[in-house]
Amino acid sequence: MERHMADLGFDNKVAIITGAGGGLGRQHALELARRGARIVVNDLGGSLDGVGHADGPADQVVAEIEALGGEAIANTDSVATPEGGEAIVASAVEAFGTVDIVINNAGILRDKTFHNMTPELIDAVIDVHLRGAFYTTLPAYKIMREKNYGRIVNTTSNSGLLGNFGQSNYGAAKLGLVGFTRVLANEGAKRNIKVNAIAPVAKTRMTEELFGAAGDLMAPEAISPTVAWLAHEDVPVSGEVFSVAGGYVARYFIGLTEGWFSPGHTVEDVRDNFEAIRDDSNYDIFADPSGELMKLMGLLSPSED
Ligand SMILES: NC(=O)c1ccc[n+]([C@@H]2O[C@H](COP(=O)([O-])OP(=O)(O)OC[C@H]3O[C@@H](n4cnc5c(N)ncnc54)[C@H](O)[C@@H]3O)[C@@H](O)[C@H]2O)c1
């Protein structure tokens, strides 16, 4: 593994990557391993809808990393239980002594239009994507707090950010991860723990039917440079979300329109001013709720001068 001195390196960094036995997670693992990180390749090895268990995918990616001259171990625990998350982090500590980076990437799909949703379809998807991120990140975060260093990258989706037909379970879990990202960014700031998210679009087993031939323009390896940058020591931001696909990178943000202010207004006033309320030609982007509170205070109790 040859590297130039100017490259962004990950020497002495330990990274847990969930769902790294295939698809995007495998590419993230290879990218970080090539740059010197020691990797826990976690993958349950089930089907796209989260059924079954196999050691093969995680072992295979470890073999690929070792063939590149990198260091990695396999872990096949499920992210979807507290014990699984604990075991994943324990395997990192046992093999490499610590954890510096968590990339929450494991995922499954169980699509159904909402009127056909069942508790079982809801729970399985929320358990892997949303609870799975909690269960894996929590034990790792405690270690990161202790040592004042951590980088966490979560995987959200435009299915939640924008709303995709047939994916109420998945979309809700994925947008839940944006809230998770922002709260952790806020809480982790004082301890040099940075938490960001990607919303990828790429051809994997999850999307190959959906994209058809267009999928060939969206290689899974095109996602990993952004993930690696967000996992790097030098990353300057926290709490942000990036759209990444086939060589394209952009930032998603939550904006609040300038809005309309009229104390004592009626229902009819809301109707009559609805365009002004919704007008997105001017907007604010707040880092946290105190930003909005300041805006509100400025409107509700303007200073004399
Ligand atoms: N491919 C896309 O266009 C796209 C778009 C938006 C979001 N995503 C997200 O990116 C992530 C990676 O997806 P992908 O496209 O590479 O699909 P993928 O199916 O190839 O990868 C997901 C991996 O997660 C593993 N996994 C599933 N449940 C697990 C569990 N409980 N514990 C541990 N591992 C588990 C699977 O075995 C699989 O290897 C997912 O979170 C997905 O929702 C992908």
83-141 pLDDT, tens digit per residue, is: 999 999 999 999 999 999 999 999 999 999 999 999 999 999 999 999 999 999 999 99
Three-state SS annotation for 222-290: HCHHHHHHHCCCCCCCCCCEEEEECCEEEEECCCEECCCCCCCCCHHHHHHCHHHHHCCCCEECCCCHH
- Full-model pTM: 0.96
Q: Residue 168: pLDDT above 70? A: yes
143 and 268 housed in the same domain: no
Atom of ligand 1 nearest to the CA of 159: 6
Catalytic-labelled residue, pool 135, 170, 248, 252: 170
Instruction: Tell whether 233 and 264 lie within a shared domain.
Output: no
Structure tokens at 89: 């982090």
The two counts, helices (H) then strands (E), for the chain are 12, 10
Q: Kindly state whether residues 147 and 278 are assigned to the same domain.
A: no
Q: Are residues 61 and 29 in the same domain?
A: yes
Model confidence at 274, in pLDDT bands (50, 70, 90)? very high
- Ligand 1, residues at Cβ distance < 6 Å: 18-19, 21-25, 42-46, 48, 50, 57, 78-80, 105-108, 128, 132, 155, 157, 200-202, 204-207
Residues 79 and 202 grouped into a single domain: yes
Beta strands in the chain (DSSP E): 14-17, 38-42, 71-75, 101-104, 150-155, 193-200, 241-245, 248-252, 256-257, 283-284
199 DSSP β-pair partners: 243
Reply yes or no on whether 141 is catalytic.
Answer: no
- State yes or no: pLDDT of 304 exceeds 80: no
Range of the domain at 109: 14-252
Are residues 274 and 247 part of one domain? Answer: no
Residues 201-246 pLDDT 10s: 999 999 988 888 889 899 999 999 999 999 999 999 999 999 999 9
d(CA 103, CA 86): 15
Domain co-membership, 199 together with 274: no
pLDDT of 42 strictly over 90: yes
Q: Which single residue is written with the structure tokens 């759209």?
A: 243
198 and 232 in one domain? Answer: yes
User: Structural domain tally of the chain?
Assistant: 2
Q: Which residue has the tokens 């979309």?
A: 171
Task: Quickly tell me which residue has 């009229």 as its tokens.
Answer: 262
* Enclosing H/E stretch for 91: helix 82-96
CA of 96 to the centre of ligand 1 (A): 25
Find the CATH number of the domain harbouring 152: 3.40.50.720
Instruction: Tell which atom from ligand 1 comes closest to the C-alpha of 211.
Output: 3
- Domain membership of residue 30 (yes or no) is yes
Pairing mode, strands 150-155 and 193-200: parallel
Shared domain for 169 and 283, answered yes or no, is no
Nearest by Cα to 122 from 136, 107, 113, 110? 110
What was the pLDDT predicted at 303?
A: 75
Cβ contact 194:238 at 8 Å: yes
Rounded to whole angstroms, the Cα distance separating 111 from 49 reads 9
Among candidate residues 153, 164, 42, 27, the one with its CA nearest the CA of residue 106? 42
> Does one domain contain both 69 and 54?
yes
* pLDDT surpasses 70 at 3: no
Q: Whose CA is nearest to atom 20 of ligand 1?
A: 23
pLDDT band with cut points at 50, 70 and 90 for residue 305: low
Summarised one tens digit per residue, pLDDT across range 244-271 is: 999 999 999 999 999 999 999 999 999 9
